[in-house]
Amino acid sequence: MKFTRRRALGAALLVPLEALAQTCGVVTPRQTEGPFFTPKSPQRKSLLEGGEKSRLVVTGTVLSAQCKPAANALLDFWHCDEAGEYDNRGYRYRGHQFADAQGRYRLETIVPAEYPGRTRHIHVKVQAPGKRILTTQIYFPGEPGNRRDGLYRPELEVKKQGPEASFDFVVEV
Ligand code: FE
């Protein structure tokens, strides 16, 4: 009994809870795709079309649970606009891209608005070539809406400094 408790404590100290989602070996939590996914988004790394007031760059790596880069992984992003609306007729703020040979991706877009019931978030589907699709959402730190959103999870928060954000996805390969 005593031995077991001590071992559990040791494990807790080695892996800080907030780092779990971005530590390789722990697959990124799945989240609902919601009602606004549209298949066949255009292939592009920038969702900016000109005239945007804010700008956000999200970078990161797609890794396997074995900590290896998932080369050429597919990432399909979609999110609402500055007014909290999704483009359900066209492809505004929708786009897919492929990670490079090191699993790295770079998305250029805006910070999406909140909409009723939801804090700011970006939807994404991530898939290593030929493997299972991981559907999830990423969130922003310090948002008052986070605590009011039942889907929000701290493990899915990007690291953010000004317009630069980063998030590493860990997928099953
Ligand atoms: Fe959404």
Are residues 94 and 38 in contact, defined by beta-carbon separation less than 8 angstroms? yes
Q: Flag whether 10 is in a domain.
A: no
Cα gap 83→149, rounded to integer Å? 18
- What pLDDT was estimated at residue 19? 53
Query: Confidence class of residue 1 from pLDDT cuts 50, 70 and 90?
Result: very low
Structural domain includes residue 64? yes
In a domain, 117, yes or no: yes
Q: How far is the CA of 104 from the centre of ligand 1 (A)?
A: 24
CA of 88 to the centre of ligand 1 (A): 12
Q: How, if at all, do strands 164-166 and 159-161 pair? A: antiparallel
Cα–ligand 1 centroid distance for 54 (angstroms): 19
pLDDT 10s digits, 52-106: 988 999 999 999 998 999 999 999 999 999 999 999 999 999 999 999 999 999 9
- Confirm whether 11 is domain-assigned: no
Average pLDDT estimate for 144-162: 97
In a domain, 7, yes or no: no
CA of 34 to the centre of ligand 1 (A): 6
Between 13 and 162, whose confidence is greater?
162
Instruction: Extract the tokens encoding 49.
Output: 């079309």
The whole-number average pLDDT for the span 147-163 is: 97
Q: Of the ranges 22-26, 75-79, 140-144, 152-156, which one carries the lowest mean pLDDT score?
A: 22-26
What confidence score (pLDDT) does residue 17 get? 53
Domain CATH for 117: 2.60.130.10
Residue 51 CA, ligand 1 centroid: distance in Å: 23
Give the domain range for residue 113.
25-171
Q: Please tell me whether residue 7 adopts helix, strand or coil conformation.
A: helix
Residue 5 CA neighbour count, 13 Å, CB half: 2
Number of domains present in the structure of the chain: 1
Return the percentage of the chain with pLDDT > 70, whole number.
86
